[in-house]
Homo-oligomer: A and B are copies of this chain.
Amino acid sequence: MTQPVDLRTNKPAIPAELLEALRNLLDDRFSTAPGLRAQHGTDESSYDPMLPDVVVFAQTTEEVADIVKLCNHYHVPVIPYGAGSSLEGHILALQGGVCLDLSQMNQMLAVHAEDLTATVQAGVTRKQLNLEIRDTGLFFPIDPGADATIGGMSATRASGTNAVRYGTMRENVMALTVVTADGRIIKTGSRAKKSSAGYDLTRLFVGSEGTLGVITEVTVKLYPLPEAISAAVCSFPDNHQAVSCVIQTIQMGIPVARVEFLDANGVKAINAYDKLSLPEKPLLLFEFHGSEHSVQEQAELVQEIASGYGAGDFEWATRPEDRSRLWAARHNAYFALLQLRHGARSISTDCCVPISRLAECISETQADCEQHAIVHSIIGHVGDGNFHVLMLVDPANEQEIQTAEAINQRMVTRAIAMDGTCTGEHGVGIHKMPFLIEEHGVDAIHMMRVLKHAFDPNNIMNPGKIIAWEATNS
């Protein structure tokens, strides 16, 4: 079949028959309204919007299969869409096509409290999940900043502040329902805690960013709410001392639940945004989970380590409302930081290194920012060796944007040279594609491409993300 080409954009126009078939299938859950398309062609990255031709809202796995089959038949791109909170251009419609919005697939399918699992439709958000299970004494710990969907979090292999203790989506997704590029509905994994029954399709789809299929249902692990939780903040003379404290904590195997780093700029920003009065110095924000005894014991050990690195006293937040306030401030840090420079846009970065290299990687990156006079803040899930540099640039200043991107490139190269990764939790999207070869090597990328070609021979699944279709092009 040949496809008509849209002469304005030089990309294939979406065939009228496909539009007709989708409209018949979905009725008022089909739209070509420019506003809706614009919203669905925009993520939280610094890229300009790229609009899909049409937005459809699915409500069941079977509908997703029907939509994908149609798109596969006409060789038209399908871009799965959850909350639109991705940061690296994941949902931009590079070649137009159909944006498949899963937000109406927001049903809880099963809560097996006795097995510590829940099965949800992909459009359920992490906050909704925790609300739905609030009476079970269990919780779902994975918390990227945004209230992302569980499907989207699976697709990007998301994590957040709790990962140091509870792992990422890689460790917490047990089973999936996936619609493949040819419209098959497959089930991967099971609710068994372990299995060696064949290829790990679950882990293959987790982190595949919609390029191998559409995740429609997810079974995740839940955890008993800890008997005791306590949180504390603690200030350090400089970044290096703060990070060194974290390194030693991790090396000693102290099972902290969360340990977050904010540099002085980060603290300043959340003080202003969240009306807090934290000392405007590099800060670690700890949370301890366990029994009363064990929480106390962990905290004492960490305090001892911290004081060895020149830390001030721990300031405790034991009341739930104080803890919530602190963590809300941490989760708002991105928005708080945007206020530091009026009219600025943030270029955010995301790398992760082995813990022993963390202080060095952060110091060198900080020096690079300072040398190039880029307004920035470093915050991070430092217990995992993962940190973000937010660089505040004037969107009208092309030179400044290029400087910031160059700092990002040097940071990624530095992280990879330390046997780290170009993205700890944000995913590849389009922004990190150039770094994948540097990280994995030509031959591993070749195998990723072999996989993509085998699973999606018509290149309809979120095309142009993670790896380029052609080897010469990547």
Contact = CB atoms under 8 A, between A and B. Distances in A.
Interface of A: 112, 114-117, 156-159, 163, 167-168, 170-171, 180, 184-188, 190-201, 203-204, 206-208, 212, 223-224, 226, 247, 250-253, 290-291, 293-294, 297, 352-356, 384-386, 415-416, 419-428, 432, 435-436, 439-441, 443-448, 450-455, 466-467
A28 B446 CA distance: 35
B190 A419 contact: yes
Contact of A420 (B191, B453, B454): B191
Given A356-B115, A421-B197, A451-B454, A204 B203 contact: yes
Nearest to A212: B199
Contacts of A427: 196
Contacts of A252: 224
A290 to B, nearest CB: 8
A192 B385 contact: yes
A207 B199 CA distance: 6
A115 B297 CA distance: 23
A450 B454 contact: yes
B194 A384 contact: yes
Contacts of A167: 171
A353 to B, nearest CB: 6
Contacts of A416: 190
A208 B199 contact: yes
B201 A423 contact: no
23 contacts: A116-B250, A157-B195, A158-B196, A168-B196, A184-B447, A188-B444, A191-B419, A192-B353, A192-B419, A193-B384, A194-B384, A194-B386, A194-B425, A197-B421, A197-B432, A198-B428, A200-B204, A200-B206, A223-B253, A293-B293, A294-B294, A450-B455, A451-B451
A116 B251 contact: yes
B454 A199 contact: no
Given A112-B354, A384-B193, A419-B190, A184 B446 contact: yes
Contacts of A112: 354, 356
Nearest to A116: B251
B448 A198 contact: yes
A211 to B, nearest CB: 8
A179 to B, nearest CB: 10
Given A180-B447, A447-B455, A440 B251 contact: no
A397 to B, nearest CB: 30
Given A171-B171, A192-B385, A423 B197 contact: yes
A403 B37 CA distance: 62
Which of A187, A193, A297, A454 has most chain B Cβ within 10 Å? A193
Of all A-B residue pairs in the complex, the 4 with the closest CB atoms, nearest first, are: A454-B454, A203-B203, A224-B253, A195-B421
Contacts of A207: 196, 198-200
Contact of A168 (B180, B194, B356): B194
Contacts of A385: 192-193
Which of A112, A156, A197, A253 has most chain B Cβ within 10 Å? A197
Nearest to A199: B448
Contact of A203 (B192, B200, B448): B200
A384 B116 CA distance: 12
B466 A114 contact: no
A436 B204 contact: no
Given A170-B194, A190-B420, A199-B448, 7 more contacts: A112-B356, A186-B440, A192-B386, A193-B354, A194-B424, A201-B447, A224-B251
Contacts of A291: 294, 297
A448 B116 CA distance: 28
A289 to B, nearest CB: 10
A192 B421 contact: yes
A294 to B, nearest CB: 5
Nearest to A115: B354
Contacts of A185: 443
Which of A250, A355, A455 has most chain B Cβ within 10 Å? A355
A420 B192 contact: yes
Contacts of A170: 194, 200, 203
Nearest to A213: B447
B440 A115 contact: no
A293 to B, nearest CB: 5
Given A112-B356, A297-B293, A454-B450, A444 B193 contact: no
